[in-house]
Structure 1
């Protein structure tokens, strides 16, 4: 491959990316390559990534268990900390059990490649995260994409798939999962199992999936539901447990995935669900079986984060209140802000080069919010993805709005 020519093409399309060096913790402000700026793009929604309690529990875990786990969970890497966190996550999510993965990406790939396969159907929202898309592709199941949060399109696809199907609803357990290498599948239009897969909160748009309606539809047509709650865990719900908690439908979702790298301030992912499904994943999910267990420090930090999420609801309450204020102020200033009620605000600017120029102007004013371009978002919808955290203040909201207004004016002047 001619990498030089490929890179030139990427640059010409305005899609070239390079690493930015953070020189301080992910917090309200951050030092980026020698400059102090207001951080407006972090997924550290509750401001826990540098919280003293998380730091202390992480250090205590290191003192007790060391810096590394020393092996996979199924060999020598399983500790009392890992088991404790899985119990806490299951209770938090309202499920029978949970299992940890090193990243959210691995959790999605693990679930989709282990729980469905040839002869099954995955129905996937068009704006699902890349890890869901990749997991679906690797699963060997047939994949059909339904329009974003479009219940009519979803029902059309699932009803068509169920016509003449081989069976009614089958649980996602070891008893029904395909053996590795089994290429059996039903005849056209006939599926052993149908899994509807959706983000809970969509990471680039910030809107929430209509989960109760999706569950209604799934139950009507004998399908199961999987929800990626990476951006909802800690943010939505009566106790901050995510999208299913937000809508009160925890027991209607077969597979709840979440991450510990966003609102929980650390890293890693998990799958929560029935005890039999979790046992099956432990035995069959390749990213779990063949990965070294997470370090004790990470597990200790997340245990502390779960305590804070459940004992300090004011963090997410103030976060959501400021997000609503910022959305209203940005709309009043004439920006194209995607609708939503989460801390993610997609400010659509159009072409990639305009979004890059806009991000550069924001940096000049001390606001760090990088441009989001294809393939992360569809062509023509490049944007600034704003995120607030519980650490931001009311004054910060005004600072962000002013910075956007000034950036727009600066770009307009440059164009003249």
Structure 2
């Protein structure tokens, strides 16, 4: 006889499998061309990063041994924080072990039940969870809708502290936040603005400083979050801002205080990635050309692409089962593409999340476009076959 917990787990698993929402881990086959990951500049497998990581481990050890506030804050961490502050044009930066922790820690440390938080409806889960952890009064405005944000801010006159939060590049849609508009609207109501630029850092901006960077200074965006495991090819995250903000996070951000610091070799690898970001701008140029070509040729094929100017190119199929079928057929042809379904995206908005990288060559793009064209024909026949 099953106990209540075993029965509960089985029922949830059966329901997810029946709806085509069950997620599976697969060990990455190196032979596959990866159009699913976030290695936008192709740095994750660069041997120079691997060597820098190995040298960092040789100098400082495989692990940091303790949290930053105990004995785990090492010279590589200090140098990386200084370099990230310089890249983003802020006085200070603070390292976190993951982007999820950076968002949780920032919101938990800054907000409480007397804080009003205003979030874009398509914000990353870590931002939504951070507001819940802080017990803040959270309101969500329509995606990229400054008018709706204005309306919500006007109705929140009772709260003394207000925080507007948005992704810089939306991870499932690839579109951009109107950072300037968010900054103006926030300032008009005395609110701070927090931007999570996880998918913009390293790719966008004149120097790879992201969708915020130096263009939108600290007065416009007081809280800037970036991750290191996407375009920079390593791991971890940071928050950049004023001296007062960073010291506040050091004192009160529980995910920072109570976590072992990232391995020093990882920090050393990230320093090498930042060096290559500066000295090899051709990576961003090549990536921009791939994005432009993909969008042009996908439009000629009539593929249902979302309106995205970034490395993230969602192919909107709508149906979860069709999305899984397309992803599996692409895998059979040596192409790895993410099949994104609810609850990650709203019901009826299942998609293939195609991500382009500077590591891709023209031949890789040829293979992807040909496979998508063939699948479009195959899917049309499939629909005709099942239609009574």
Q: TM-score, normalised by structure 1?
A: 0.89
Alignment-derived partner of residue 126 in structure 1: 121
| 2:99 aligned to which of 76, 97, 104 | 104
Partner of 1:215: 183
**Structure 1 unaligned spans of 5+:** 24-30, 163-189
Distance change (3 Å), C-alpha of 1:387 and 1:246: farther
What residue in structure 1 maps to residue 109 of structure 2? Answer: 114
- The reply to whether residue 19 of structure 1 matches residue 25 of structure 2 is yes
Q: Which range is displaced more, 293-302 or 392-401?
A: 392-401
CA deviations over 1:278-312 (Å, ceiling 9, x no partner): 01101110001100111011101000011111221
Deviation for aligned residue 1:409: 2.0
Q: Is this contact kept in 2: 1:211–1:247, CA < 8 A?
A: no
Match of 2:49, SS state, is helix
Is 2:60 aligned against 1:65?
A: yes
Counterpart pick for 2:45 among 43, 50, 53: 50
> Is 2:154 the partner of 1:148?
no
Match in the other structure for 1:370: 338
**Which SS does the other structure have where 1:216 is aligned?**
helix
2:348 aligns to what? 380
The two structures, once aligned, show a CA RMSD in angstroms of 1.2
Q: Deviations over 1:340-363 (max 9, x none)?
A: 210100100011111001111111
In 2, Cα distance between equivalents of 1:344 and 1:201? 9
1:76 match: secondary structure: helix
- Matched residues in 2 for 1:303 and 1:250: separation? 23
The residue aligned with 2:35 is 40
Equivalences for residues 382-401 of structure 1 within 5 A: 382-401=350-369
Question: How much has 1:96 moved relative to structure 2?
Answer: 0.7
Q: Return 313-322 or 90-99, whichever deviates more.
A: 313-322
How far the C-alpha of 1:247 sits from its partner, in A, is 4.7
- The 5 Å alignment of 1:16-415 reads 16-23=22-29, 31=30, 36-162=31-157, 190-245=158-213, 247-249=215-217, 251-415=219-383
Helix, strand or coil: the match of 1:252? coil
Deviations 1:157-190 (A, max 9, x none): 112213xxxxxxxxxxxxxxxxxxxxxxxxxxx1
Q: Confirm or deny: 8 A CA contact 2:195 2:225 kept in the other structure.
A: yes
Q: Is the 8 A contact 1:362 1:369 kept in 2?
A: yes
CA distance in 2: counterparts of 1:9 and 1:324, whole angstroms: 40
Rounded Cα–Cα distance in structure 2 between residues aligned with 1:370 and 1:213: 31
Higher mean C-alpha displacement, 358-367 vs 383-392: 358-367
Tell me, yes or no, if the aligned pair for 2:115 and 2:162 is still in contact at 8 Å: yes
1:238–1:245 contact (8 Å) kept in structure 2 = no
Q: CA deviation at 1:332?
A: 1.6
Please report the TM-score for the alignment, with normalisation by the length of structure 2: 0.95
Mapped to 2, the partners of 1:235 and 1:22 lie a distance apart of: 24
Aligned residues: 378
2: CA distance, partners of 1:408 / 1:388? 20
Q: Which moved more, 1:406-415 or 1:315-324?
A: 406-415
